[in-house]
Structures are given as C-alpha cells and as structure tokens.
Amino acid sequence: RLYIKEYMEEKEGSVHLFLDTSKSMDYGEKKKSELMKELAAALAYISVSSQDHVKVYDLGKPGRPFTANNGKAGFRNLQVTLEKMEVGEKADILEGVRRTGNMAAGLTVILSDFLDEKYFPEKEEKNGELDLLLRYLAYQKQKVVLLHILAEEEVEIDMTGSWNLIDSEDETSKVMVDMEQDTIDRYKEQLNAFTKGLQVTCKKHGAIYHLCHTGQAFDKIIFDELRDIYEH
C-alpha cells in the first residue's frame, strides 16, 4: 500500500493540505484550480488510507478546515467539498496558515501558483515571504512540500501578435505587449528565475519543491514527480 512515511515520526501522522483559492488559480484551458483539487484529493486519499489524520484548508477561509475520513463515503465527502470550493477569494498564504493556529506535528503541503509579488525574490537567494512561511511551519514542527501549480499556457507560450494583458487579481492593472520572440525569451528567463528562487529557498529550509503544470499527465505527476512524498 502507499503511505506517507519519510516525514512521519509516528505510525499515525498529521497531514495538512493548504489550497490557494485566489483568482489567479482560475486560469488555463484546464484550470490550475482543477489540477490543484485533483492533487489534493489524491494526496488525501493516500494519507487516510495509511491511517494519517488529514485536514484540508481553503486559504481563502482557513478557519474552517475539512477533515478527511477513510472509506468510500469519506472520500466522496472530500470530493464534494473540493468541488464546492470556489476560486476567487483573496488568499494570503502566510496569513492563512497562521490563522489555523497550533498544528499537530506532521506534513504540510501547500498547493498554489504563488503568483503574488511577495513571492518574487529580489535576488535568487532571497525570498522574504517564503522564508517567513517556512520558518513559521518549522516552528510548528512541520515538514513542508510546496506544489507549485501553473497552467500549461504559462509554461509553454503559444502567443503571437499584440496582447492586452490584465492582472487576474487586479483588473485595473493592464499592459499591452507585443509577443515577439525576444519578449517570450525574457518571459521564460523571468519564469525560470521565479521558480528557481522558490526552489532555492525551499532547499535552504529543508522543504521539498515541485513544479507541476496542467499539461502534464496526472498519473505522471503523482507517481513520478511526487514520488519523494510517499513510498511503496
């Protein structure tokens, strides 16, 4: 059977899944929020099957977590809860995690696109907001996994011509860009710096970082990309 092992000191561990329901997650032909919910359901299922205690948090409403239970009925309740989880709430990851209060020692998984200026490092080795988040979770005796979820369209750019780009979380913020090759190249450089900055900060704190996008096969993400979260 599958069971979360590497991060658990006890046979029955505590698993905390934090889902980012900010408006930016509602993007892509396949929505980022859809992949986020699929991953959360799979990780919760693996965990409760191993007798771990699982709580699922909507970061837009962190004070009302859902407790996942074992069995078909428990998993169906989890699916219904995830389906009803609405994207569009203003979600502050650090504040949302803090608002949950004291946490049982265990594993915390944060599922987000991290598209917030606070997570864009000024320098590759410096990410103040993520540093604070990981320090707080270490204080709460958590081992941490960041699942960085992007849309395939954000990773593989297939745009030409002039585009009026609008910030999904601030529709008053707009910019007109010509999608020429040098523009695409600069975007990819910035994206690489962004993801590398998150990865470097995670490594410094002993956390695990994974980049997932909606164009990947789901079973490949679970059984290949995320293999280090669980063991057979």
CA dihedral 60, 121, 107, 28 (to 10 degrees): 50
| Composition of the chain by helix, strand, coil, percent to 5 | 40, 25, 35
The residue ranges of DSSP E strands in 52-141, in sequence order, are 53-58, 66-68, 106-112
Phi-psi region of 72 (alpha: psi -120 to 50; beta: other; left: phi over 0): alpha
* Predicted confidence (pLDDT) per residue in 12-32, tens digit: 689 999 999 999 999 999 999
| Model pLDDT, residue 123 | 53
| Model pLDDT, residue 2 | 45
Tokens 């006890």 label which residue?
10
Q: Give the integer Cα–Cα distance in Å for 57 and 64.
A: 7
| Model pLDDT, residue 12 | 60
| Model pLDDT, residue 142 | 96
| Model pLDDT, residue 161 | 55
| Model pLDDT, residue 159 | 62
Residues of the chain whose pLDDT is less than 70?
1-12, 121-127, 159-179, 230-232
| Model pLDDT, residue 179 | 65
| Model pLDDT, residue 147 | 97
Say whether 9 sits in a helix, a strand or coil. coil
| Model pLDDT, residue 194 | 93
